[in-house]
């Protein structure tokens, strides 16, 4: 019996490649020198795609060349790299990797928050640059007794809130609807949340519905002692508005793991000393990336074993 042909769009953890190599015929798109010719020849045989939120897009133009695809299995909880509406029109199932990264991203968010407030990366640079020999490091802000607002109280947002409750802070959130099972204060508008808080943590899905949710008005509402942390998608924050707010002192500082046009980061952000900039690594531990990769493979294997997708996205 012939093996199922699967297209992988970008390299993934060895565990995904090894697992899929055993079960299916895996085609590595990134290794093809002439991708167009390759897709023309092999595209019609492809029945499943393994892709990643971190690289490339699966959109109508790629799907046109893969007319027999049944499932797109995407690495990452965010799946704004896949045109899920277009896939749904073609009856293609889309899966992501929820659940397995919640704790990792939540731990990381607390790390980024403390690093930003207490200027930990800046202090490291200060010491290495020999500045400590001349003067003490400038004093920082503090987390204690602040009000922290979470934009998007999904699984990861709740994991962040649980960790924050170990600090002496009050917690509030904004989301589409108020949730009955949590005691944190709810704000129906993000501007209202920003006005009430000193720290805003963004952990809402990306995509058209949240594009530039954090705009000039929200940053003004956050105010001159305000700190913005974004571990969601770069597109949720209007980056130019943020740069302006940081330069003009409209807010105090920011900690960013994501950007509007990754992996490009505006030089204006890089030039700012009061921002902590990280290269989209919230889930990037060996343990968690392996778990995410395993779920990418397991979704494909389960589908082609006739058992259905394990973690389909809702579209």
Q: Where are the beta strands (DSSP E) in 14-96?
A: 25-28, 46-52, 71-75, 93-95
Closest distance between ligand DGY and the C-beta of residue 151, in Å?
Answer: 15
Q: Which stretch binds ligand DGY (CB under 6 A): 8-16, 75-83, 151-159, 194-202?
A: 75-83
Closest distance between ligand DGY and the C-beta of residue 295, in Å?
Answer: 11
Question: Residue 77, interface with ligand DGY (CB under 6 A)?
Answer: yes
x/- map, 89-108, ligand DGY, by CB under 6 A: ------------x-------
d(CA 281, CA 56): 17
**Exposed, middle or buried: residue 38 (CB in 10 Å: 0-12, 13-18, 19+)?**
middle
Q: Which of 46, 63, 71, 76 binds ligand DGY (CB under 6 A)?
A: 76
Question: Residue 53, interface with ligand DGY (CB under 6 A)?
Answer: yes
Q: Which stretch binds ligand DGY (CB under 6 A): 74-82, 125-133, 169-177, 209-217?
A: 74-82
Please give the positions annotated as active site: 233, 262, 280
Closest distance between ligand DGY and the C-beta of residue 214, in Å?
Answer: 17
Q: Do residues 95 and 75 lie in contact, with contact meaning Cβ atoms separated by under 8 Å?
A: no
x/- map, 263-292, ligand DGY, by CB under 6 A: --------------------x---------
Angle at 253 between CA 248 and CA 257, to 5 degrees: 125
Question: Residue 110, interface with ligand DGY (CB under 6 A)?
Answer: no
Q: Do residues 257 and 34 lie in contact, with contact meaning Cβ atoms separated by under 8 Å?
A: no
Q: Where are the beta strands (DSSP E) in the chain?
A: 5-8, 25-28, 46-52, 71-75, 93-95, 147-151, 170-174, 185-186, 199-202, 227-230, 253-256, 275-277
> Interface with ligand DGY by CB under 6 A: which residues?
53-54, 76-78, 101, 283
């Amino acid at each position: 019996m012939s093996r199922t042909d699967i297209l992988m769009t970008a390299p993934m953890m060895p565990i995904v490649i090894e697992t899929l190599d055993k079960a299916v015929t895996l085609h590595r798109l990134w290794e093809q020198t002439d991708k167009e010719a390759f897709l023309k020849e092999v595209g019609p045989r492809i029945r499943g795609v393994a892709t990643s939120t971190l690289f490339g897009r699966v959109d109508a133009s790629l799907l046109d060349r893969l007319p027999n695809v049944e499932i797109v299995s995407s690495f990452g909880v965010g799946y704004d790299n896949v045109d899920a509406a277009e896939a749904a029109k073609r009856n293609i199932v889309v899966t992501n990797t929820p659940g397995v990264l919640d704790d990792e991203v939540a731990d990381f968010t607390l790390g980024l928050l403390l690093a930003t407030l207490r200027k930990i990366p800046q202090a490291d640079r200060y010491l290495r640059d020999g500045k400590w020999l001349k003067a003490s490091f400038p004093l920082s802000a503090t987390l204690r007794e602040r009000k922290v607002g979470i934009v998007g109280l999904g699984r990861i947002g709740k994991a962040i809130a649980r960790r924050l409750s170990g600090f002496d802070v009050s917690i509030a959130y904004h989301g589409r609807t108020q949730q009955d099972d949590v005691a944190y204060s709810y704000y129906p508008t993000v501007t209202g949340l920003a006005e009430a808080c000193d720290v805003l943590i963004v952990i809402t899905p990306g995509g058209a519905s949240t594009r530039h949710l954090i705009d000039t008005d929200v940053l003004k509402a956050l105010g001159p002692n305000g700190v913005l942390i974004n571990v969601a998608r770069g597109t949720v924050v209007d980056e130019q508005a943020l740069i302006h707010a940081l330069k003009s002192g409209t807010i105090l500082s920011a900690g960013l793991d994501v950007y509007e046009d990754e992996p490009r980061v505006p030089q204006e952000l890089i030039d700012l000393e009061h921002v902590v900039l990280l290269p989209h690594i919230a889930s990037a531990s060996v343990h968690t990336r392996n778990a995410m990769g395993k779920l990418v493979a397991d979704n494909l294997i389960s589908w082609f074993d006739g058992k259905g997708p394990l973690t389909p996205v809702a579209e």
